[in-house]
């Protein structure tokens, strides 16, 4: 019963997501591919027990493929385009850049809905079967329904419920009903009243407008990352020592693995994601590399007025209204 209920939740949410994606694609908005890579990377890893990494986090453009696992020897192209031309282009790029040296299999994963292609596709470097190597959400759900036990199903349900609200909010307009279908706050502050009071008491009210501008930038940068990726900031904000707000990469990674149940592969992906959004950077000049957070002064002010629960709410749910009076 628990397994069936969890599966129903997964099916419902993924089908709503697919409808949103399909609607965007029909209007020519293909940027959903890039916005979806991180979400589907984690989902594919959980469903198939792979260890895919986001290759675009390592290089601005990784020709022909978006995700890859050196352990599983699997590569994935994430796309919303259904035509044969996209598959042919993907295979051509795979061959041209000799990805077969690192990967034994190429999967074209369609985040909208795949097409039943009448023609076969040929690669000069790997075997490619249109029936087993072109997948979509229906294939993922079929595998999940028949291969997952109850704990696995509930794990994926929890991931879906955590990440889908964020993902929907990135794909839909603020007035779209679907963007508010789950409890995802994504709330900008109205007056920063708690900060203004703090600055007034400290006699630095002139810095208030500058703080607000920095806060807007931090909010926008945070909003480009998934909740799963933003969680990487929590150890930096709660375990580091002001005013540096930094952690040795080894310590930060251990905290993420032990306290937040991330794999080492997840940790590497989060490092890339946070740096890509300019939310943190790796200080490699030191003998021991450190992960440091940007906008130190902003976070120091925030840490002085927010409880830990409020801080987590601000970072994970983008609930910046906690700064209001």
Does the reported pTM lie above 0.85?
no
Higher-pLDDT residue of 28, 190: 190
Residue 77 β-bridge partners? 108
**CB distance 111 to 40 below 8 Å:** yes
| Token pair in block for residue 283 | 């200080």
pLDDT, residue 136, reads 94
3 state SS of 185: coil
The answer to whether the Cα torsion of 182, 185, 186, 190 is positive or negative is positive
Neighbours of 309 (CB within 10 A): 9
- What is the band of 57 on the pLDDT scale with cuts at 50, 70, 90? low
Q: Write phi, then psi, for 73 (nearest 5 degrees).
A: 60, 35
By percentage, how much of the chain surpasses pLDDT 90? 44
Residue given tokens 């310590």 in the structure block: 251
The mean-pLDDT minimum among 123-127, 284-288, 307-311 falls in 284-288
Render pLDDT for 220-263 as a digit per residue (tens, 0 to 9).
888 778 778 888 999 999 888 887 888 998 899 999 888 887 88
Confidence tier at 282 by pLDDT (50, 70, 90): confident
Higher pLDDT, 151 or 260: 151
pLDDT level of residue 31 (50, 70, 90 thresholds): low
pLDDT tier at 171, thresholds 50, 70, 90: low
Torsion of CA 246, 247, 253, 258, to 10 degrees: -110
Confidence of residue 180 (pLDDT cuts 50, 70, 90): very low
- Lowest-pLDDT choice from 129-143, 205-219, 270-284: 270-284
pLDDT of residue 168: 66
CA–CA gap between residue 304 and residue 279 (Å, rounded): 20
User: How large is the average pLDDT for residues 274-289?
Assistant: 82
Mean pLDDT of 84-96: 93
Distance CA 96, CA 114 (A): 24
Neighbouring residues of 200: CB distance < 8 A, sequence distance ≥ 6: none
From first CA to last CA, the distance across the chain in angstroms is: 45
* In 92-227, beta strands by DSSP E: 105-110, 134-136
Q: What Cα–Cα distance (Å) separates residue 49 from each residue in 2, 143, 169?
A: 21, 12, 27
Q: What is the pLDDT of residues 74-83, one digit of tens each?
A: 999 999 888 8
Strand partners, 291: 247, 282
Q: Give pLDDT, residue 170.
A: 64
Please tell me whether the peptide bond between 72 and the residue prior to it is cis, using omega within 30 degrees of 0. Answer: no
Q: Can you give 138-176 as a three-state secondary structure string?
A: HHHHHHHHHHCCHHHHHHHHHHHHHHHHHHHHHHCCCCC
pLDDT of 93 strictly over 70: yes
Mean pLDDT of 178-199: 74
Strand partners, 292: 246, 281
Q: How far apart are CA 88 and CA 81, in angstroms?
A: 12
């Amino acid at each position: 019963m628990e397994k069936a209920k969890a599966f129903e939740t997964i099916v419902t949410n993924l089908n709503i997501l697919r409808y949103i994606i399909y609607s965007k694609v029909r209007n020519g908005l293909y940027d959903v591919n890039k916005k979806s890579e991180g979400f589907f990377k984690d989902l594919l890893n959980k469903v198939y027990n792979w260890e895919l990494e986001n290759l675009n986090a390592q290089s601005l453009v990784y020709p022909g493929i978006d995700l890859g696992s050196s352990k599983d020897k699997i590569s994935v192209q994430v796309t919303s385009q259904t035509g044969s031309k996209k598959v042919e282009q993907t295979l051509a790029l795979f061959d041209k850049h000799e990805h077969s040296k690192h990967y034994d299999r190429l999967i074209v994963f369609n985040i909208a809905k795949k097409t039943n292609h009448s023609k076969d596709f040929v690669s000069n470097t790997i075997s490619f079967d249109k029936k087993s190597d072109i997948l979509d959400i229906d294939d993922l759900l079929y595998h999940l329904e028949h291969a997952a036990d109850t704990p696995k199903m509930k794990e994926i349900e929890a991931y879906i419920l955590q990440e889908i609200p964020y993902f929907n909010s990135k794909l839909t307009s603020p007035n779209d009903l679907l963007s508010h279908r789950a409890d995802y706050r994504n709330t900008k502050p109205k007056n920063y009243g708690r900060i203004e009071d703090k600055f007034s008491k400290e006699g630095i009210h002139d810095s208030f407008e500058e703080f607000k501008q920095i806060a807007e930038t931090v909010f926008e940068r945070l909003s480009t990352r998934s909740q799963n990726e933003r969680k990487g900031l929590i150890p930096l904000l709660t375990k580091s020592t002001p005013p540096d707000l930094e952690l040795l990469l080894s310590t930060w990674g251990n905290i993420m693995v032990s306290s937040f149940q991330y794999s080492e592969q997840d940790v590497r992906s989060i490092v890339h994601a946070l740096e890509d959004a300019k939310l943190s950077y790796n200080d490699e000049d030191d003998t021991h590399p450190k992960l440091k957070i940007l906008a130190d002064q902003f976070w120091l002010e925030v840490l002085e007025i927010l409880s830990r629960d409020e801080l987590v709410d601000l970072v994970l749910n983008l609930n910046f209204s906690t700064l209001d009076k």
